[in-house]
Structure formats: C-alpha cells, structure tokens
Amino acid sequence: MLGKKIINLKAVDSTNSYAQKLAKQRYPEGTVVFAESQTKGRGRLGKSWLSLEEKGLYMSVIFRPPYKAAKTQLITPLTAAAVCSALRDFKLDAMIKWPNDIYISEKKVCGILSEISLKANKPSYVIVGIGINLNHKKDDFPIDLQHKSTSIRAEMGCPIDKQEVVKNLLFYLNMFYEEFIVKGNINSSISVCNKYSLLKGKIINVKNKEHIITGLAGEITSNGSLMIKDKVGTVKDVITGEVIKF
Ligand code: BTN
C-alpha cells in the first residue's frame, strides 16, 4: 500500500512541504516523496535538518489514517519502530530515543517529523518525514554536531546502498501500518519501541512546554506516551516532549 506511488526529486526545499502540497491536491495515501537533497530540510521544534546531496535519505509519506488526532499521533512511534527494524536488519544496533529519533552508539542517525493536518478539527492527512544519515563521513557534519551524530556508513565501516534501506523501510512501514489500520492498534510497533528503547532505565530530563520533568524512564505505553517515575515515586505519563538529558 505504501510506496505504490513514488515521486523522486533531485532537489526540493523540504520533502515534507512538497508532500503537504500533494496531499492537498488529494494524492492518495501511501504516496512517497524522495529527494536527493533539501535546501530547507526541517526537524522538530523549528530546527533544521542537514540534507547533503547523495549522503542521506530524505523522504516523506502521505498517510490518511481514519482516526481522531490522539490515535493518529501513534504514527510517530509506528515509524520509529519501522526505521529501527529496517536498520537492525543490517546488523546495526539501532535504538529508539522516544519520541522520534533513532540512535546508534549513543549518536543520532535518523529523525522523524510527523505533521498532522486538521480539517474541521479532525485529521485529514499526516505527513511523516524521515531523514537518515546514510553515507556521511564524520567531517560532513558541522563541528557542533560531530559528537552527537552518526551515519550508517560510519557505523558499518562501508557505504550503504540507499535502495536497500528504502526497500527494508517500506517493508516494515507497510507491515506496522497494516496492523494499525486492520486491527486498530500498534502493539507490534510499541513492542519494538520498548525492546529497543534508548531511554528505559535511565534518569532523564524531558522538556514539556514550560516544564522540565526529571525521573526514571520506563515503558512506552500503547498511547505512545512515556512513563517517568520521579524521585518521590510518582509515575507520570508524558504524552510528548523533548528529552534534553539522558
Ligand atoms: C528531527 O529530528 O527533528 C526530525 C528530522 C526530520 C527530517 C526529515 S528529512 C525528510 C523530511 N523533510 C523535512 O523537511 N524533514 C523531514
């Protein structure tokens, strides 16, 4: 289902912005936009995403899940589980940093950006953008990112074929999305998120709007939230946020 319609671009501002335009023109669910480079690749919370030509995988998928906003947001852990599974097939020790990053060797290798568009307060479509550092060498990252970013090439010690990664990724995305649509849950994806959770058992700081929540990271729930136990033993269910220390 996903990937039945594929659009390959040489360069674009952002594959997410491009896919937004297509979604508004009623392109079907499962349309995937790939670009070799992006001039304005963006990440969560207003950050930019380094999008060097021929080094990374930059793609966005149009989803139209028939659910309300809270359930639709599960598309992010679902995608994280798919990316993690796809990379693990290459014998990479990929881990999920809730809510939307994939790490290898404690360094970020992939970011996911889900953008939900609402119509009359109901989700009309979701664009899920995935950026994976494939063939970057250490020097390709800006100095301030070098200690916290990695690529598949840096981890495997040899270049990787982009199409192999895409094939694996679409396989897992299709598998997990089918469960979401047919069974209405994402239990398999959440199991993967918990099995390969980078945060579980660590003391973390999560920035959630104006607050910073500190505590021991526990399970990711079937709602996609993260359980955090604070120092007096109170367990909080954190729906979303940015993990600023772990
Ligand atoms: C993050 O780590 O904050 C998310 C990064 C998401 C980057 C991808 S690259 C493809 C797609 N197009 C964009 O502009 N962003 C996403």
Q: Number of structural domains, the chain?
A: 2
Is pTM beyond 0.90? Reply is: yes
- The ligand 1 atom nearest the CA atom of 108: 2
In a domain, 1, yes or no: no
**Average pLDDT for the chain:** 96
Q: Do 91 and 19 have their domain in common? A: yes
For position 43, what pLDDT does the model report?
Answer: 96
CATH number at residue 235: 2.30.30.100
- Placement of tokens 């979401």 in the chain: 180
Last residue of a domain, one of 159, 175, 195: 195
Confidence band for 209, pLDDT divided at 50, 70 and 90: confident
For position 121, what pLDDT does the model report?
Answer: 85
Distances (CA, A) of 164 to 57, 106, 182, 209: 11, 24, 27, 38
| Ligand 1, atom 3, residue with closest C-alpha | 43
Q: Do 54 and 113 have their domain in common? A: yes
Q: Give the SS3 label for residue 122.
A: strand
Each residue's pLDDT tens digit, 42-82: 999 999 999 988 899 999 999 999 999 999 999 999 999 99
Distance in Å, CA 221 to ligand 1 centroid: 24
Q: Are 199 and 168 in contact (CB under 8 A)?
A: no
- ipTM score: 0.99
Q: Is 103 in the pocket of ligand 1 (CB under 6 A)?
A: no
- The ligand 1 atom nearest the CA atom of 47: 3
Closest CA relative to residue 193, chosen from 149, 223, 154: 223
In a domain, 63, yes or no: yes
In a domain, 212, yes or no: yes
Q: Which residues constitute the domain of residue 179?
A: 6-195
The token duo for 47 is 């950050």
The token duo for 86 is 């796809």
- The ligand 1 atom nearest the CA atom of 56: 9
